[in-house]
Every structure is written in C-alpha cells, then in structure tokens.
Structure 1
C-alpha cells in the first residue's frame, strides 16, 4: 500500500506544472468514505455524487500552497530582517483607487448599508472596507472552481485535509439547500466565495438573505452586506465602541510588552503609552498593535472591535488595514456627501 501511495504521489506532482489532471475520486479511499457519509447522514443521491466525484480537475495552485507543512522558526533558514513591512502592506491596500472605489460602493449601496447598521450595529464603512480588501468591491471574487478546489484539498495529502473535508461537506450542503450547481461556483484558491470571501462553513452559519428573496447569494451586494454585518455581530462587535487609535511612546519603552491582538493590557499598566487622540475614552483592556515602518514603529491601541475584525482574518495588519481603509472611505464619503447637498 505504501508503494502504491508513493507511485500515486509521484504521478500527481509530476503533472503539477503540465496539463490539467482529471481524477476519478469514486475509487479513492477517503473520498469513498466521504461519499458514503454524505449519502447516509446528509441524504444525498448516490448517483449524483458519483457523477460529481468521478470527474474532478486537480487544482494545482491550491495543492501547492497547502502541500507541505509550514516551516518553523527552528527549521527555516534565517533571513535578513526586512524593515517597513507595514509600509508595504499599506501601499497595497490603502491606495487612493481602493478608497475612491469604496466611496462609490457606499454611495451606490447606502440604503442597504444603512439597513445593515440599523439591524446589526455595524458601521457602513467597515462593511465596505471588508469587501474592498477581500474582493476589491466584487471585481475579484476568484476564478477557481470551488468544488474541484475543495476536493483537491480534502483528498490530496496536505497539512489541512481535515479542515477542507469539513468545508467540502458544508459546500455540498449549501449547494443542495440553495439549489445551486456545485460545478458552476467559482472562488479563491482556498474555496472562499462571494464579495466577502466566505468559506462554506461560514456561509452556513452566518449567511443572510438580506434582500428577502428566499435565497442567500453572497455574490450579490445586498446579501453580502447583510452577511458581513452578521459575521461581525456574531463575533462580538460592540456598537459605538472605537476600533483603534494611535498612541505615543518614548524610546523603546514598549519593547518588553508583547504586541498583537492576542495580548491585552489594562490602561493603567500602559499609562506611559497614551493616545494621541485626547477624546479616546475607551476604558477596557487594549492590545498594542505595532506597525513596522522603515525607520520607526507606529504603535496603536486595539480595542474589542479591533479583535472582532481579526476573526475575519487572524492578522493584526489585516485588521489595521480594514480599520484605516474604513476611516479613509468614511472621510472621503462625508466630503462628497456634503458637496452633493
């Protein structure tokens, strides 16, 4: 069996840079178990599943991304530290074009965004910023066939087989419930879908029929807006609570403190690190968010709502990019809105 597995893997990876590889998963051990489970537990038609799983195109980019374990610091080669990582991130996500398109999106969908705010308490600019970062306001929702992607990542050996097997199950349940053809849906190289790039399991838990047409379609603006607002609400967003504020410090006094959204400190402990904005009156614990520039570090307080944004993507830089993009969109939107009156 080990020899057969080795032969299969060699055959697979020898084709990664050549023509598309089509696989019949109906004879694959783990896939057969999965099909049986979907028939017995989820009441899927066996013939329909066999037709689906008999003709799967391997998604080579996806497999390449997840194929090998991530290197730990102990095993990876030591690289020369590159300064200014936030400046590069900022340049990519906070450019004038993305801000302008965000304003246009808010103007076009202001009624839906206002309804989302009234329903869930999530400000329009943060919903807009998520869509701007995730899919460039719907322009780039992904071109990868979601079914083939999830099959590839569920059944070909990689570091996240269990996760993608769960996502494949939720994806098929979603397509059945929503009367969608699983072969027609396109998404990211990881199987994320729609304007907000939801994974299928999040679609199941948090997707909202916000236009009340009896269907959940997160590739459409209304349902995407409602679903993202619901995601934030369910993750613990607090209405009228700030997200982040820049702080001042002297020298390297904060260096002994751990930074990042997972570490929280009382304001009393950080009394020598104080907000630049004197109106900032958030009293609960905060995180210290460090943004590395070439010649210095920016330091920010992150609140409970900053942490909520990291539930969408577990990265302090991601959450800060969403926050700053939201603020820039809001500022520009308000100027245009006033000019139109």
Structure 2
C-alpha cells in the first residue's frame, strides 16, 4: 500500500475509533437514595429506636446507593437447577483452600486452641468456616455494606420471597454498630448481602456474638484473626454446639421410599434417636447406632447420580445456623478435616 494512502487509511481508522468511543455509553453512576420518602421515613423511625440524631441517620441513608448487581445476586438459581453435592464440595475442598487453611491454622494455633478450651469448638470447624466463607480473608466482599443493605431494604427484587424486612433490621443494626464502634458508615465493605469480615457476620451477629478475643479494646473481624476465631466459636456455642460431640455419622438410607421420606420430613433438625432410624430401615455405623442423642437424616443430592446421606447430630445443626444449608455444613466439616489431616 502506498505511504500516502496508508496514512489516509490510518486516519480514517482513528476517526472511526474516536467516534465509537464518544458514542459508547458510559456505565451509569450509582445514584444515592437522597431524600426518597420511604427511606427518610425509615431513617426517622430508626433514629428514634437508636436514640440517635435524626439528621445523622437521614444524612447517612441519603448517601446510600441502589446497586443493581446486589439485587441480581440475591436472586436464587433458576428453577430446575439441580443440586450437586460433589460439585459443591469440589469448590471448597481443593488444594488452594487447604494450603491456605494450613497457613491460617499454623499462624493462629494459639487462638484456635484457646477458643476450643473456652467454647468447645474444635479448630478444624473454625478453620473450615473461615475457609468456606472468605478463603481466609482473600474474598471478603467489595460492596459498600451501606449500599448493599439499603438496596435489599428498599428495592428488594421481585421473583422470590420478600426479605426486605430482614435487611431493614440489618441496616438498622449496621447503623447501631457504626455508632458503637465509631465507624464511618460509608467505609465498610462486605458481601452483596451486607456480611462483613473474614467470618462474614451480618451486622446483628456482630452486635450479638462477635468478641474482642485479643482484648485490645475493639472487635476487628477484618484485621484480627483472634477476634475472628473467638467470634466464630462463640457464635456456634450460642447456637447449641456440644463440646466433644461429633457432627455426623455414616448411614445407609432406607430402601423404602416412604421410610426415607418420613426421616427426611424434619429436614436438618435432629428429631430421631438411633432406634427410630433403625425402625425406619436406616442403617447407622457402629458409633451412630450407639449415639444417645437425636439425629437427622441429611440428604445431599448429586445431580443425576444417587444422593449421599449422613446422620447429622446437634453439632451439624449448629453449623447450619451459620448458613442454613446442609451442603454448606458438610463443606465446612470436610474442608476443616482435610486441613487437619494435612497437619
């Protein structure tokens, strides 16, 4: 191509590129809620309950922003999406997370042992929870907590059960927490649901269950592994963790569909003793058959393959109070055990 023609061709390409750049829409800025009427009504009511300056609460919430991504992420999977325990497990019980868990355990062994002495929760369970929640602090969330909670409080998406009241209570708890700890409410970041720190505590859980385990005068769930470990162990203890008890036993589920269905009716709530399992055709291992407490038949679906089953104890149920999912609880247990074995 002649040099003059090449220059003209290049000029045309540059002009076209500039035109496209000018024409391409910029991503919209997140718009603050400002003085929206329903938000300000909530602000005034919350200020009264918090015994806070109404202008401070109004000013904070006026700066909260609606985040469409938050509303999208809170939606459940599409109908018909098959649950798959094997795939779920593979996301969490994998070499990178196990290696990070080993480092977390090694660096914080003193605090893990002290937490077990005080609350009876084994290190492997605490390590499993922190690993599943945030990969030991590598993924604590990038949304402003204020924005996430405001979005789910005032613009909860349609198409699923409305949980806006829950998130409004968490938004109020977040404001209470900010006042108590002297935080700028515009600063903390967390998950799309408003969970905070390595253990992903919601604001109300921080207020109720988080502890200053290193006794430095403040609770820090981002920078203090001691506070993280103590808070997780304290949370589980408050929800019924039994010192020295196992989390689950091996079990062969009943062959008869009706018997299996009867055992599954209470879901993850321990409701049957070992004799009740046997009466309905479930075969426990030796330790499970001798267990004096209540058990729940836990079904973990594997897509098109046959489900997996375990018999969950009260301690299994306590883990599900952290996240109401049997898949979550098993991932926590198995990640913690994988790290323990590597030690």
Q: TM-score, normalised by structure 1?
A: 0.83
* Aligned pairs (5 A) from 1:276-315: 276=285, 278=287, 281-293=290-302, 294-315=304-325
Shift in Å, 1:281: 3.6
Residue 153 of structure 1 corresponds to 152
Change (3 A) 1:58 1:247: same
Mark the runs of 5 or more structure 1 residues left unpaired by the alignment: 1-16, 334-341
Residue 339 of structure 1 corresponds to none
Distance in structure 2 (CA, Å) of the matches to 1:292 and 1:320: 12
User: SS of the counterpart of 2:274?
Assistant: coil
Shift in Å, 1:19: 1.3
Residue 320 of structure 1 corresponds to 330
Structure 1 residue 102 corresponds to structure 2 residue 111: no
Distance in structure 1 (CA, Å) of the matches to 2:241 and 2:327: 19
Larger Rg computed on CA atoms? 2
What RMSD, in angstroms, separates the aligned Cα atoms of the two structures?
Answer: 2.4
Distance in structure 2 (CA, Å) of the matches to 1:148 and 1:250: 48
Residue 265 of structure 1 corresponds to 272
Residue 21 of structure 1 corresponds to 30
Mark the runs of 5 or more structure 2 residues left unpaired by the alignment: 1-25
Distance in structure 2 (CA, Å) of the matches to 1:183 and 1:281: 54
Change (3 A) 1:279 1:43: closer
Query: Contact 1:291/1:299 (CA < 8 Å) preserved in 2?
Result: yes
Change (3 A) 1:107 1:118: same
* Aligned pairs (5 A) from 1:153-232: 153-158=152-157, 159-219=162-222, 220-232=224-236
Residue 238 of structure 2 corresponds to 234
Moved more, 157-166 or 276-285: 276-285
How many aligned positions are there? 307
Q: TM-score, normalised by structure 2?
A: 0.82
Query: Contact 1:246/1:276 (CA < 8 Å) preserved in 2?
Result: yes
Shift in Å, 1:51: 3.0
